[in-house]
Structure 1
Amino acid sequence: MIARAGRRRPFQSRLRRVVLAAIALVLLPYLLIFVYGVPFVRPISTLMLADLAALRGYDRQWADFEDISPNLVRAVMMSEDGQFCAHGGVDWGEMRLVVQQTIKGDATRGASTISMQTAKNLFLWNGRSFLRKVLELPLAIAADFVWPKRRMMEIYLNVAEWGPGIYGVEAAAKHHFGVSASQLSRQQAALLAVALPNPIERVAGKPGRGMRRLAGLVDRRARSSGDYIKCLYD
């Protein structure tokens, strides 16, 4: 009896350590949200960490928000998250529509906001997963509450993937078009925005006919963005 109780204690101790480690892992991103809110901090994504762990390396050159062409900011926002300035991290209207479509068995479109994508890129992993979505939503809300919209957009554009080992708009602009992020034209910006959902197959610097057509649509939306981007430009 005493021996059995003695065996239980080490097991309980290990279980307690595992539980505490899991709790710390869940809470760490919320601490990092405050750290990443400091303007001179330059966060890296989980994909960048994976590239480092695999000894592949990556190309990322940080660009401050002021050094990023407004053409790209408008194009990305109108392509990825037109209500970016209006929501608090999650577009609940779009989320509700996706849930309704899922219940009906209809094909669904993505409801990820820029805040959600930023949270995923910084703290989580790629791929469709209910667990990831459950973790992503509160992280997006917390980040949107702590960070100004400009900081959110700045981080997103500096951790987004635009090709194998190509992260951030500065590296993407130079890799695909041979210019800096501040010099991107409307057409180049639209192509980069269209590439974001699938940067491996959609190569901004070598667009096909379908990609050019989508870029033209994004460019038209960006030109008429108006009040949609009021939280980013005074």
Structure 2
Amino acid sequence: MGRILGLCFKFAFWLLLILIAAIVLYRFVPAPSTLMLGRWLTLRSVEREWVPLAQISPNLIRAVIASEDQRFCSHRGVDWIELNAVMEDEDGPSRGASTLTMQTAKNVFLWPGRSYIRKGLEIPLAMAIDFAWGKPRVIEVYLNVAEWGEGLFGAEAAAQRYFGKPAARLTTAEAARLAAALPNPLLRDPAKPNRALQSAAARTQRRVGQLGTLGDCAVPG
């Protein structure tokens, strides 16, 4: 029994070191998502072109913040206000409380699907990358690993496929459609939006207007 416990502690220790090393490494180099790694391992195609944040339209940065995490610039990786509200709600498991930082932690380090174990791991990872990377890098990684279609990852590849232009040139309407597609990227086509996507994009544009300067922490100066 003692030997097994010792092996478990060693495994946990080395896993922690690997995570710390990856967090430091991904502060500087392009990060893949676990979905991308899974597709590569199973010999499926991946369409992604990493671009720095300066080459992504501020329209998309603000749209994603407004749509997914309006307190992104004020929290430290975890929105405790929203998380506490979900925990106190008896319908909590069906609601979302993931910040953009938590989604980035999940996309880069964890697995898809919902579980309390994964959510429990998301929280410390989100706090760690918020501290180590800062807001601009978090949103840069998020926008380069987010899934926007089958085998389609990142803002640049999505902008090219759906609108035939680089991510730097996205309009407010195009950015709103891309942001509104994120909750269900396999079924929502920003180039041919159905009524549900058009409605969600309109809500996103209204939220961008309400956001004001609260979304500027991740917009390159």
TM-score category (smaller protein): over 0.9
- Of residues 216-225 and 44-53 in structure 1, the stretch that sits farther from structure 2 once superposed is 216-225
Decide which of 5, 15, 24 is 1:25's aligned counterpart: 15
Counterpart of 1:138 in structure 2 is 124
**TM-score, normalising length from structure 2?**
0.93
Could you tell me how far apart the structure 2 residues matched to 1:151 and 1:139 are?
Answer: 15
Confirm or deny: 8 A CA contact 2:147 2:154 kept in the other structure: yes
Mapping for residues 63-74 of structure 1, pairs under 5 Å: 63-74=51-62
Q: Is residue 30–residue 139 contact of structure 1 (8 Å, CA) maintained in 2?
A: no
* Structure 2 counterparts to residues 24-63 of structure 1, below 5 A: 24-38=14-28, 41-63=29-51
Post-superposition offset of 1:169: 0.3
SS of alignment partner, residue 49 of structure 1: helix
Deviations 1:91-135 (A, max 9, x none): 00000000011xx34674211000000000000011111110111
Change (3 A) 1:107 1:117: closer
Pairs within 5 Å for 1:150-229: 150-229=136-215
Distance 2:94 2:7 in 1: 40
Aligned length: 220
- Paired residues of 2:177 and 2:198 also in contact (CA < 8 A): yes
* Percent sequence identity over aligned pairs: 47
Stretches of structure 2 lacking an aligned partner (at least 5 in a row): none
Match of 2:216 in 1: 230
Whole-angstrom distance in 1 between the partners of 2:143 and 2:167 = 10
Which of 62, 69, 76 is the aligned partner of 1:81? 69
Q: Which residue of 2 aligns with 1:116?
A: 102
Q: Tell me the TM-score normalized by structure 1.
A: 0.88
Q: What is the CA distance between 1:230 and its match in structure 2?
A: 2.9
* 1:125-178 deviation line (CA, Å, top 9, x unaligned): 111111101111000000001112111110000010000110000001111111
1:22-58 deviations in Å (ceiling 9; x for gaps): 44234422221111112xx101010000000110020
What is the CA RMSD across the aligned residues, in angstroms?
Answer: 1.9
Taking the aligned partners of 2:70 and 2:78, their CA distance within structure 1 comes to: 12
Distance in 1, Cα, partners of 2:60 & 2:154 = 12
Question: CA–CA distance in 2 between the matches of 1:15 and 1:194?
Answer: 46
In structure 1, list runs of 5 or more residues that go unmatched.
1-7
Tell me which amino acid in the other structure corresponds to 1:182: A
1:221: how far off?
1.5
CA pair 57-107 structure 1, distance change in 2 beyond 3 A: closer
Letter aligned with residue 45 of structure 2:
G
Report the CA distance shift for 1:106/1:167 in structure 2 as closer, same or farther (over 3 A). closer
Residue 5 of structure 1 aligns with which residue? none
For each residue in 1:190-234, what CA deviation from the matched residue of structure 2 results, as whole angstroms up to 9, or x when unmatched? 111011111111222221011101101101221332121131245
CA distance in 2, matches of 1:206, 1:25: 43
Distance between the aligned counterparts of 1:75 and 1:105, measured in 2?
27
The separation in 2 between residues aligned to 1:16 and 1:52, in whole angstroms, is 34
User: What is the rounded CA distance, in whole Å, between the counterparts of 1:64 and 1:26 in structure 2?
Assistant: 28
TM-superposed CA distance for 1:67, in Å, is: 0.5
Query: Structure 1 residues 106 and 159, CA, compared in 2 at 3 Å: closer, same or farther?
Result: closer
Which protein has the larger Cα radius of gyration, Structure 1 or Structure 2? 1
